[in-house]
Structure 1
Amino acid sequence: MFESIWNEYGPMVMGWVEVARDWLLSPAFWSQLTLLVVAYLAALVITRKANPRIEKLLTPPEEAVNILAKTRRFVLLFLPLLLPLLAFALTAVGEQVTRSLFGSGAIIAFGKRVFLFLAVQAFARDMLKDPFLKVLGKFVLVPVAALYVVGLIGPVMTWLDSTVVPLGNLSFSVLKALQFIVVAAVMFWFGRWSNDQSVALIEKQRDMRPATRQLAAKAAEIAIFGIAFLLVMNIMGIPLTSLAVLTGALGVGIGFGLQKIASNFISGIILLLEGQATVGDYVELDGGEAGTIVKMTARAAILETFDGRWIVVPNEDFIVTRVVNYSDQGSANRYEAPFSVSYDTDINLIPDIIEKAVAELDFVLSEPEAPDCELRGFGDSGIDFACEFWVNGIDDGRHKYTSQVLFAIWNALKAHDIEIPFPQRVVEIKGGFPRAET
């Protein structure tokens, strides 16, 4: 068995041994290896001395946010690449020397590829901060660089291109599939980044209505990802006419199974165009859902209740049902605080006392109407009043503002010695109390 294995692989092993022996006995090999070591040590010494100075020079003050400060922070991100790229440059100089002296530079060329691999590895490890790009660099960029170092990138690409995957009437090579995945991933990541930048820019336009800002952000998102899709198709050489069957099937699917999603999407666009409900509004729907709109997506609006829960409400519900909008981005709202006083009170004094006390609260508005104390009725235990007041915003479950108004009413009544009644009943016993027997 050993003899058969040796007969098959022995000549190849002996060939490797022969090449290794020639290298070890060759002055060119040792000179190139020495140059590689010297180039790396020189790059290491230079970077250790230069890195602190470069970092100090490129680090702007923490409070600086101008374009120059942003540029300096961006350039500073490339500092981890200084060591391998400097070693690569010094090795390139040494390669010219060895080729002129010995006419050979295979070892030093291999060292250059190793330094380039170290630069790619540092780029993927230290510079890529986005989780998606970090995964792409770790599992795509670094393996490709490793294949380049050992000189196998050409054969591997040829093998992947010759491996065809049949899919019905269609067929494609593994290489094309991998290229499509990588290109599509990078393009759509760039689209997401561009969309985030455009949304941040739109949100800074405070002279625009919130609904207009939301509509502009959605329009920018659709445009950016539409362009990204078209670019991917163009880069990969895929004609859009080949997608006709797919889009036809998709249209049928929308007509039947996805009609609710399509309805909610159109309803969301209508909401943004009309601006009747937008982010920041406190709304109440017929179904009982109530809360502040914290986010509007293509399918639904996210309501946050006063107790911190999130309610997902389909956009269609805002169109086909009755919606009460309490805030409309900071408009005033009216509330009332009920209270009672004793029947022994001169009720003609109550309105002036209460209206003055409530008007002194800093959150109570004088427009569109000042606090108004109204007589509501004559109750079983006391005389019922209510003070109406206007505020900006929403009363947190009738506890945010009404509670403070009731405190002010209590203190004002106590300051004027006005009694707040408690439940009282008059009991009449016909015939009087029975007499005790002696």
Structure 2
Amino acid sequence: MNDAIAWLSAQGLAVPRGSEATELAIVFGLIVAALALGALAGRWLGPPIEALWRRRLGHHAEGIGPRVPFVVRHGAAALLLAILQAAGQWPPLAAGLIGFFLGAAMARMAAQILRGLNLARWMAWSVAFVLFVAIFSHSIGGLAPINNTLDSIGFDLGSWRFSLLRVIIVLVTVICLLAAIRLVNRLVGHAIVSTSSFDPTQKLLAQKLAGIATITLAFFIGIDLLDISLTSLTVFSGALGLAVGFGLQKTVGNLIAGIILLLDRSIKPGDVIVVADKDIGWVNKIGVRAVSIITRDGKEHLIPNEDLMTKPVENWSYTDRNVRVRIPVTVPYDCDLPLAQELMLRAAAESPRVLDMPKSNVWLSKFGEIGIEHDILVWINDPESGVGSVRSDVLNRLWLLFRDNGIVLPYPRRDVHLVGTPASD
């Protein structure tokens, strides 16, 4: 043992002896106790806090919810280690040991939070590494040597200094602001969804406006934190204006059109719409760029917001969800017409999706080539379930009623007269 201590001393390493060794052992024991208490806190307090988080935020808690026990674990350990670090004047080796585990706990907690907010893995661990280095360096003598070294790696461009230190500061600031935007959007979004004073369209509009306000506020906070003068952005703002005027014209137009759609509430989630007489479906989501429409085939169509402002749009559920469905039927000329019309009304009345009020009706529309053409007019109040199934159900029932009552559906016939053919022998 003495030989090992002598060899370490010969290498220039300070070996604690006597009271210093005892103090170091005590500090190490306290660090182990802090880590153990953090693990117990994560096991005991983590699940209840996670349940509370999910109950308060609902689906907005996804991502960060399962990581709450780990955040509590590392956060509790970091808090205890911070108290231990501030409790007294520790010798350099003990202070470095505390700083190492404190930096590791803070780094793990930051990584769990950032990953829970669905940030990329490299972003989370980059911030965690910078945080660990900063806390550990502070505990063993300060950040000045590291800052000076990182700042020396770079170059000057006019009044600007581009260095590795500047790049790290910008990167960490941007990542933290992005995480803050996502967290605030989740909290505000859940608060808006939970309120009962807004209808679905107003809630969606409030969420989008809150998101825009959060991004704008984060932008100005970032400008202030990075000490960037707004006057230096004059050229950038001019270039941005040109980009909006040329390349981003459609994007900005779709954004404004989406806000207008939400403001006038002409189209809202859940409506059944027809765009340009071809795209039929119910509105699933109104996004920043496009409206998501799901058809009866399960296909999701993304229609630009601007198209909904410039093209003809039928909204089957704008003021009333009742929709009239027209079902064409042709009967032969020699049938009992009053009976056929009565059977048409009966088939419509027996269909489960057809409403009793307004009443169904049968119109004689035309004397056609092969028969008398009618339109069965029925009303439904669930257009999102499609209109083809209603036609099919009514026509199937009418087929059985016609068969039972001896009414045969007409079909095209042609009489061919041969003129001037030679007589056969």
RMSD: 4.2
Aligned pairs (5 A) from 1:21-60: 23=15, 26-40=17-31, 42=33, 54=45
Q: Is residue 69 of structure 2 the alignment partner of residue 110 of structure 1? A: no
Give the SS at the match of 2:354. Answer: coil
Output the CA distance in 2 between the equivalents of 1:337 and 1:111.
82
Output the CA distance in 2 between the equivalents of 1:268 and 1:53.
46
Name the count of aligned residue pairs. Answer: 410
Output the CA distance in 1 between the equivalents of 2:189 and 2:71.
28
What's the CA shift string for 1:37-75, capped at 9, x where partnerless? 5335555766777765556776759996599xx9x9997
* Aligned equivalent of 2:396, options 403, 407, 413: 407
Q: TM-score, normalised by structure 1?
A: 0.75
Output the CA distance in 2 between the equivalents of 1:66 and 1:224.
19
What's the CA shift string for 1:156-206, capped at 9, x where partnerless? 122223444444664444323432332233223322332343334434556
Instruction: State the identity as a percent.
Output: 26
- 1:372 positional shift: 0.8
Q: TM-score, normalised by structure 2?
A: 0.77
Q: Which amino acid aligns with 1:242?
A: S
Give the SS at the match of 1:312. Answer: strand
Relative to structure 1, the CA distance from residue 397 to residue 433 in structure 2 (aligned partners, 3 Å threshold; closer, same or farther) is farther
Contact 1:338 1:385 in 2 (8 A): yes
Contact 1:60 1:73 in 2 (8 A): no
Partner of 2:340: 350
Partner of 2:354: 364
Contact 1:195 1:221 in 2 (8 A): yes
Q: Which amino acid aligns with 1:132?
A: L
Contact 1:91 1:108 in 2 (8 A): no
What's the CA shift string for 1:73-132, capped at 9, x where partnerless? 997554422784487379669x86xx7xxxx73332222122213312431455552231
* Aligned equivalent of 1:176, options 159, 166, 175: 166
Relative to structure 1, the CA distance from residue 186 to residue 117 in structure 2 (aligned partners, 3 Å threshold; closer, same or farther) is closer
Output the CA distance in 1 between the equivalents of 2:308 and 2:52.
48
What's the CA shift string for 1:228-264, capped at 9, x where partnerless? 1122222233232332232123223333443333333
Aligned pairs (5 A) from 1:303-342: 303-328=293-318, 331-342=321-332
Give the SS at the match of 1:345. Answer: coil
Contact 1:365 1:391 in 2 (8 A): yes
Structure 2: which 5+ residue stretches go unaligned? 1-6
Output the CA distance in 1 between the equivalents of 2:277 and 2:348.
35
Q: In terms of mean alpha carbon deviation, does 73-82 or 159-168 score higher? A: 73-82
Give the SS at the match of 2:259. Answer: helix
What's the CA shift string for 1:241-292, capped at 9, x where partnerless? 3322321232233334433333333333333333333333333344855543
Contact 2:42 2:73 in 1 (8 A): no
Output the CA distance in 2 between the equivalents of 1:82 and 1:272.
42
Aligned pairs (5 A) from 1:187-202: 187-202=177-192
Give the SS at the match of 2:288. Answer: coil
Q: Is residue 268 of structure 2 the alignment partner of residue 278 of structure 1? A: yes
Structure 1: which 5+ residue stretches go unaligned? 1-13
Output the CA distance in 2 between the equivalents of 1:366 and 1:424.
38
Q: In terms of mean alpha carbon deviation, does 284-293 or 220-229 score higher? A: 284-293
* Aligned equivalent of 2:128, options 141, 155, 160: 141
Output the CA distance in 2 between the equivalents of 1:216 and 1:61.
25
Partner of 1:376: 365
Relative to structure 1, the CA distance from residue 162 to residue 303 in structure 2 (aligned partners, 3 Å threshold; closer, same or farther) is same
* Aligned equivalent of 2:210, options 202, 209, 220: 220
Relative to structure 1, the CA distance from residue 130 to residue 278 in structure 2 (aligned partners, 3 Å threshold; closer, same or farther) is same
